[in-house]
Amino acid sequence: MISVHLLIAAGILLWIRFLWSRRKLYLLSLQLPGSWGLPIIGIAAAYFIFYRRKISMRSKYMNKYGSTFLTWMGTMPVVLTRDPKIAEDVFTSSSCTNRSPHATNAIADAMGPGLITLQGAQWAERRKQMNPAFKHNVLVSFLPIFNDETRSLVSLCDSFVGQGEVDVLPDLIRWSFRTSTQTTLGTDVKEDENYKNDTILESFKSVVNITALSVLMPFLQNTVLSKLFGLEKKVKRDLSTIRSVMDKIINKKLKTKSVSTYNWDPEVNTVIHRAIELYQKDEISFSGLRSECSIIVVTAFETSAHTVYHTLILLAMFPDIQEKVFNEIKELLPTTEDLELTYEDLQQLAYLDRVLNESMRVITPVPIITRDTVEDLQLSNGVLIPKGVTITVDIFSMHRNPDVWGPEANKFNPDNFLPDKISSMHPYAFMPFSKGRRNCIGWRYGLMSIKLALVKILMNYELSTSFRYEDLDFVDNMVINLAKSPRLAFKRRT
């Protein structure tokens, strides 16, 4: 009997100790509004099962609790915000450079260690190492590739003329993938059979989709569950294809000559050559070299393809704005089909810039970004975020925050980016490529390739769609998805 009482007493003491160790978390729940959700699993069940990852759920909670609130994923609190001031606190803090391990672990399991997945000092060192591959002169040297691949895309669009409304997203993904692989690995990737027949593209798409599921549903990162659902086998098969192509290209370049003798001429201004240089200096491993290249390809082709697609469907929904873009292109650039666009050409198109920014505002490429606090963080609103808490910056909701963008924040209006309006806006109110210490290393690359594709398509075709702007329904993913993808009709301009 005494032993039973001792066990009960020990259990109570352990429970008290557990609660005391989490006291800062419970104090946080008193400082921020929010919902506890269901026992043990928090809001996960509602989010994944009932709402099917619809972003409208987050909008519902923010309308109820305000721009910064607390929710629970399992037994751990998550701070969710659409407040630019809080976003600035997070993204400029040295305590918040680490991405959430739920995301980085899933990506690292698939792609290996790289700039996207590394944390802390390792990430900071790798960022410095890879920065030279994204300098302005390096990106400008990619323009011939951008022009060639976009010319092929425009020729393909010609087959859509007179076919009614067609699904163009798969072709935009293929265009973006071909561009990103050549600018990352070099143009000799075109010689590979797996590249020619799109086998490596399908493998990348498969890995990206499975990784996205693992990020959004972390329980799938469990080895047993991954095997049970058949995901582990599929990922291994796809990664085998990717690594085979990567290793072939890397080994070929290693045998050619020492990368350190290249002196960064335009023929070798690619991520792969910078990574090989680091490998030859024993600063990264061979698997790290391969991983860096794979991750850069993934982050480039997914975001660029979807951003071009979203901008085109918005212009098709708003023909008056589409016509203004076309008139600007016609006025400033020679409208010849084989026009080789230059960096200077792209810089002239001020109205297209406004349209593209507004497109990325209402349909932001990456809807959320998470950071983990490695130390206690005092926010500008006075709330103390304990060490180990995940802070999620809801970029999609921030870009539509009526407190920032006004009562018509959900409407598509390029005038939101008139110079006088932007000058009075909080610097973190618009951040399609993130900001601060861990912003997107390739944002200039993305803008250049996206703008070039938009110019060439819009100078040749007039677009239309029967899909209404009001019916767009957004779904969380690594790159934002639409619950139903609008189709586009193409009419050749004369």
Domains in the chain (CATH in brackets) are 23-492 (1.10.630.10)
Contact 309, 168 (CB under 8 A): yes
Residues 6+ apart with CB under 8 A from 104: 116, 117, 118, 119
Residues 296-348: tens digit of each pLDDT: 998 888 899 999 999 999 999 999 999 999 999 999 987 666 788 999 999 99
Q: What mean pLDDT comes out for the span 212-240? A: 74
CA separation for the pair 313, 352 (Å, rounded): 15
Contact 251, 106 (CB under 8 A): no
CA separation for the pair 494, 480 (Å, rounded): 34
Beta bridge partners of 69: 80
CA distances from 213 to 231, 234, 312 (A): 10, 13, 27
Q: What mean pLDDT comes out for the span 280-293? A: 90
Q: What is the pLDDT of residue 263?
A: 47
CA separation for the pair 430, 438 (Å, rounded): 16
Q: Where are the beta strands (DSSP E) in 49-167?
A: 68-73, 76-81
Contact 440, 433 (CB under 8 A): yes
Q: What is the pLDDT of residue 395?
A: 95
The vertex-111 CA angle with 232 and 169, nearest 5°, equals 90
Burial (CB count within 10 angstroms: exposed 0-12, middle 13-18, buried 19+), residue 335: middle
CA separation for the pair 41, 217 (Å, rounded): 12
Which two structure tokens, joined as six digits, stand for 294? 């794979």
CA separation for the pair 14, 466 (Å, rounded): 62
- The whole-chain average pLDDT of the chain stands at 86
Per-position b or e across 214-228, b if 16+ CB within 10 A of its CB: bbbbbebbeeeebee
Residues 242-264: tens digit of each pLDDT: 999 999 999 988 887 554 444 44
* pLDDT top residue among 223 and 396: 396
Which two structure tokens, joined as six digits, stand for 179? 């561009």
User: What is the pLDDT confidence band of residue 207, given thresholds at 50, 70 and 90?
Assistant: confident
